[in-house]
Amino acid sequence: MNHDLIYSSISCHKRTIAYCQWVDNVQETQRMLDLPGPFSDLLKWILCQLTGGIVKREMYCHGIGCFTKEEVYSLMEKDMRTLATLLGDKKYIMGPKLSSVDATVFGHLAQAMWTLPGTRPEQLIKGELINLAMYCERIRRKFWPEWFVDLEDFCYDSDNDTSSGTPSCMLDLGLFSRTDTLEESDLSLLSHSNTHSQDSDHSGRSLSDSDIEADGSDVEQQVKGQVK
């Protein structure tokens, strides 16, 4: 697999995501910030303005700062589609095993997945590019089982659903990829024979962390470090 293509997509994608978060969607970002104290609103506004200015300067230094809003989002969509194509139906970017590439990719996709409600990146990753959402959820369940995810996080507002007034729900993010190993399949069947809890999907496969093969501790530390 072409590592240069992956890192090239990520390099540009992180800037377009930052643009969406700190420039185009700054009001929602400011609302999501949690700063205590009597001057929290003022501090959040100052933080957003400063960060937005930094993002704009970095974008201009990179060369995409002179692009229009539509061109920036078009570039972001192209990068996300590239990552979705490279991932395909594999469990991780490089196949059934975690690698340092996954640490980098997850660190950027997680922002679109959980910190940009109602934006184009969220609608894209939770809609057309659902394999990226499933990929993020697999890593979240493996490394952060205590990470609470509200059910509303698995829905997105689509323009096509405005008539019904209800959000579109994502597919079950616990679905396994086609590259699951034989050992993992056997383990899931064993778990199913012992108990059939709410952590099982419609096919009976367990969605617990024990279904995911343990990987190297170095890679695990890299994944966690990307989202700190």
For residue 48, name the pLDDT band (cuts at 50, 70, 90): very high
Separation CA 94–CA 86 (nearest Å): 9
pLDDT at residue number 145: 85
Q: Are 61 and 25 in contact (CB under 8 A)?
A: no
Q: Are 28 and 118 in contact (CB under 8 A)?
A: yes
Helices (H), 95-165: 100-114, 120-125, 130-143
pLDDT at residue number 15: 86
pLDDT at residue number 11: 72
First to last CA, the chain: 27
Model confidence over 81-101: pLDDT tens digits?
999 999 999 999 988 899 989
CATH architecture assigned to 3-181+215-226: Up-down Bundle (1.20)
Output helix, strand, coil percentages for the chain, rounded to the nearest 5. 60, 5, 35
For residue 224, name the pLDDT band (cuts at 50, 70, 90): low
pLDDT at residue number 65: 84
Q: Are 74 and 197 in contact (CB under 8 A)?
A: no
Q: What is the model's pTM?
A: 0.65
- In the block, residue with structure tokens 């400063």: 50
Model confidence over 124-173: pLDDT tens digits?
999 999 999 999 999 999 998 887 765 555 554 544 444 444 445 544 44
> Which residues is 155 bridged to in the sheet?
169
Average pLDDT over residues 40-46: 94
